[in-house]
Structure 1
Amino acid sequence: MKKLLLLFFILLAVGFSFQACDDTKTYAEMLEEEDDAIADFINKEGIKVISQTEFFDNDSVTDVEKNEFVQLSSGVYMQIVDKGSDNPADTVKNNDLVLVRFMEYSLLDKDTTLSNLTLPYLVDEFKYTASSSSIAGIFIQGLMYMAYGYTAVPAGWLVPLPYVRDKAHVRLIVPSKMGHQSAMQYVYPYYYDITKYQIYK
């Protein structure tokens, strides 16, 4: 009996030691860490967050001089640096091919993770598809596909398209749920400077 009790206590102690060594974060903790990283970035960069109502009242533009970003219902923060073409017809449409120049910055690692801005021979290209109920983008080629191995364009990249035209320049803070698959899996928020959305003609 004493041996059984001793064995039980040893197993209990081993179980507690494994539990004490478990540094795995819960999903709720990762979401909290993500929220803190986004808030910290907004604070450090002196970003003025405006509401969607203010954004629409201001003809769907953001004041770059005031470093305004609009927080959209998707959770994405967007700054339109340049709306692009003056021609209202130059919008991205179903089945268009879109070329993208961008820089990706990890808000948790506080470091640039990807950029094709200095690689003139390498541009990211995706096919845009739109229906009455959804929009999507599929990478054809580029750095994002090469780095992450996913063809799905981050949903956050598609958010600005209804508000801009050919050759637009936007900046985005993209929470993990609107990011690429790796961002969603590891709950990583990213900042993007997309210097050009160009419709390939």
Structure 2
Amino acid sequence: MTHQLTKVLLFVATSLVLFSACRDTDTYAERREKEDKQIQAFLRRGCVVRDKIHGFDVLNVPGNIKVISEAQFLAQDTTTDVSKNEYVLFGTGVYMQIIRKGTGTRIASGERASVISRFTEFSIAGDSITTSNLLDHPERPDLISVNNNSGTLNGVFVSGLMYTTYGSAVPSAWLLPLRYLNIGRQHSADSQIAKIRLIVPGNEGQKVAINDVKPYFYEITYERAR
């Protein structure tokens, strides 16, 4: 009797382990589905984060985003029409709006460049700003070392808030815009540094986004270091 009971308990335990493994797989699929729904909702509504004490918007992203294809983006000379609230959707699932193309030149093939970045990171799932060197450390922008290896861009954070928060790995989505932007310095009132907006699915983001399968929004400027 005891032997039979042991066999039954062992069978139940094994079944629970197998069920748990199946649930883990289902849970990941459900997370991806939930992430997509969160992104679609963000495309419709955008977001506004307001500093009620000082009476200004810390972040204001208009909703009713118009999504264009990569083909249309290329046909428009790699631009997005901000007046129409256009974002281009890439095959990786990243959405990008180019607010300013920037001054100077692109990072050339074979070139290594030091890029200064200022940003605000907004959790789409959490509906809140998670980090921003504009708010937390305006005097200490992030520094990225970028290498263009025959058209393939690689980069590491050298210092700054992204470095201390998430480590040296630069999210793939952060490097993507550099293919289309001029990275220079603002030498006059008429020359403006590059500025973009990104909607980033978890698998193209920083390590927390990847682990949690959570989407993030970024507003980022890029400037060539001296």
TM-score by length of 1: 0.85
- Alpha-carbon contact 1:124-1:142 (below 8 Å) kept: yes
1:95 correspondence with 2:126: no
| Partner residue of 2:101 out of 61, 83, 86 | 83
1:154 correspondence with 2:194: no
Structure 1 residue 92 displacement after superposition:
2.6
Instruction: Specify the code of the residue in structure 2 equivalent to 1:60.
Output: T
Instruction: Specify the code of the residue in structure 2 equivalent to 1:61.
Output: T
Structure 1 residue 117 displacement after superposition:
1.3
Q: Which 4+ runs in 1 deviate beyond 3 A?
A: 3-20, 22-25
Instruction: Specify the code of the residue in structure 2 equivalent to 1:109.
Output: G
Instruction: Specify the code of the residue in structure 1 equivalent to 2:107.
Output: V
Cα distance in structure 1, aligned partners of 2:90 and 2:124: 19
Structure 1 residue 9 displacement after superposition:
5.2
1:200 correspondence with 2:217: no
Pairing 1:107-118 to 2, within 5 Å after superposition: 107-118=124-135
1:72 correspondence with 2:90: yes
- Alpha-carbon contact 2:107-2:148 (below 8 Å) kept: no
Instruction: Specify the code of the residue in structure 1 equivalent to 2:179.
Output: P
Alpha-carbon deviations, 1:108-134, whole Å to 9, x = none? 111111101133212000100121263
- Alpha-carbon contact 1:92-1:199 (below 8 Å) kept: no
Distance change >3 Å, CA 61–CA 177, structure 1 → 2:
same
Consecutive unaligned residues in structure 1, runs of 5 or more: none
1:62 corresponds to which residue? 80
2:48 corresponds to which residue? none
Alpha-carbon deviations, 1:50-105, whole Å to 9, x = none? 111111111211111211100012221000011111x4xx2234210000010011
1:27 correspondence with 2:28: yes
How well do the aligned residues superpose, as a CA RMSD in angstroms?
2.3
| Partner residue of 2:159 out of 133, 141, 164 | 141
SS of equivalent residue, structure 2 residue 208: helix
Structure 1 residue 17 displacement after superposition:
7.9
Consecutive unaligned residues in structure 2, runs of 5 or more: 46-62, 184-192
Pairing 1:169-184 to 2, within 5 Å after superposition: 169-184=195-210
Cα distance in structure 1, aligned partners of 2:13 and 2:130: 40
